[in-house]
Amino acid sequence: MLTVTVDLGGRMPSKRAAQGAASHEFRLPGYAQVLAELGPKTSEAISALIREGAGSTLFAPTGQLLRVLEEGLRTSWTDAEAASAISAIHECVAKQQELNPTTLARWLRAHRNDSRALTDCLQADPPDEITIIQLLSRAGSQKLVFLANWEIAQREVVLKRFIGPEAAERLIPRELQPHPLSMAHPNIIETHLLRNRKGEGFLVERRLPMVLNDSWSSHGVQEAANLLRDIASALAYLQEKQLVHGDIKPDNIGFEDGNYILLDFGICRPIGKFDADATPTGSLRTRAPEVLLGERNHSYSSDIWALGATVYNAVAGRFPLFSPGEAPPRVSTPAEREAFEGVLRGRVRQEWSSRVDPCVVPEPLRPLLQATLDRDPDNRTTAADLVKEAEEELAGFLRASEGPSRFSPEEELEQLVAYLPGERILSLMPDSQKHQLRRRLEGLRGAKGLTSGQREKIDSLQALVHS
């Protein structure tokens, strides 16, 4: 059997020396010996890797690759997962694929005991100006989503790779709809198309500091009101272009600089292009009742329902047709998922009034949210009307959509109460500044949606400024 003798620094002997040494056991180098202690599967995988790499530039005198593997895998990795990770690297070595040790070390840290995620990173071949940091998610069976650096833009981005040419051909045109040359709106994510040296297309979006999820709570009216207005504004813009998003849900909404931003246009298509014979798409948590029952396809109105269901969840802690903490079966378990869809259809027919309960919604939001969650899609409000009504009825809670101020009237009042100086200091304030402050308080006093207690606070401030 081939004997490979390597010192503890990880240096490989010359290929001739290795071929000249015969023994009944394969002697692992120092770094590899530590890895082999994880278990028999890892020992076998690292032995195979070393045999494949004998004489390769990957096994330079510094033994850098072996050192990276030993440091990255020796803790928090099981025998099976470590062996799978090493096998994935073995495949790269066999294909003479270039491996950057620094990048590999980062991936091993980011994907502890997750060889599948490491493999996804190894197999991706991003555009030259993009460096993958880690896998963020597998969006179904057709798309991988990575966190990456876009060197030209000097910023972290979200990189989407489509699995297989058929998925790419079908989905890239849809997801490219929010390209800045075709669609520009402050509440819609910008998407760019880049290609690698093989011509494979990747989509690039700026990374948002926060993306919502099912457990996200608005903690009151203000954030719920801004979420409702912002995404309704995005939907109104889409509807002007005769587009239906088709998958409004918390994890397709991000937040940045005071704006809620609509993401993921993989299902988005022109109204009328949702095939009546096709399986309904989009999340079950926010799927409109008429789509659940097969009465209608996705439409502008079903997008409005999905937005209403998302905001309802943010204030009530559950989706309208769901119990608290209830989650639908995954797409990967079709039988269980189909059975659960039947349960939801039963709730639409038999439990509507108790499930879609407006009483759990705070009063300022209640009328607007009821208008989005009407059982009859023809009676639901439109996105444009929803924006208008929100800006009229919830003005006290909304941040300015444009301009330098990012405070809502409610937030501005809190700031004034907390930081406005006392009467003695105010008496020294120039008359011009006092006049501006009085006008601002009058404007706050007229904002709709404020409570009687908040108006009393404004009255007290006005009296203080006039004294």
DSSP 15-45: HHHHHH-B-SSPPPPHHHHHHHTT-HHHHHH
Determine if the pTM surpasses 0.85.
Answer: no
What does the pLDDT read at residue 10?
Answer: 43
Angle between helices 101-110 and 64-73 (to 10 degrees): 10
What does the pLDDT read at residue 439?
Answer: 76
124-207: CATH architecture: 2-Layer Sandwich (3.30)
Distance CA 346, CA 309 (A): 18
3-state secondary structure of 183: coil
The yes-or-no answer to whether 124-207 and 211-397 have a common fold is no
pLDDT tens for the 467 residues of the chain, in order = 223 333 333 444 434 334 433 333 556 667 778 888 899 999 999 888 887 765 555 444 346 788 889 899 988 899 999 999 999 999 988 888 888 888 999 999 999 999 999 999 999 999 999 999 999 988 666 789 999 999 887 889 999 998 877 777 777 888 888 877 677 899 999 999 899 999 999 999 989 999 999 999 998 898 999 999 999 999 999 999 999 999 999 999 999 988 999 998 888 889 888 765 455 667 899 999 999 999 999 999 999 999 999 999 999 999 999 999 999 998 878 899 999 999 999 999 999 999 999 999 998 899 999 999 999 999 999 999 999 999 989 988 888 765 444 567 777 777 777 767 777 666 666 666 667 777 777 777 777 777 788 888 888 877 777 76
Q: Which of 43, 114, 115, 124 is nearest to 84 (CA)?
A: 115
Q: Report whether 50 contacts 28 (CB < 8 A).
A: yes
Q: Report whether 441 contacts 465 (CB < 8 A).
A: yes
Q: Which CATH superfamily is domain 211-397 in?
A: Transferase(Phosphotransferase) domain 1 (1.10.510.10)
What residue ranges do the domains of the chain occupy?
1-111, 124-207, 211-397, 409-466
User: Which residue has tokens 């989005």?
Assistant: 372
Distance CA 55, CA 315 (A): 62
Q: Report whether 228 contacts 369 (CB < 8 A).
A: yes
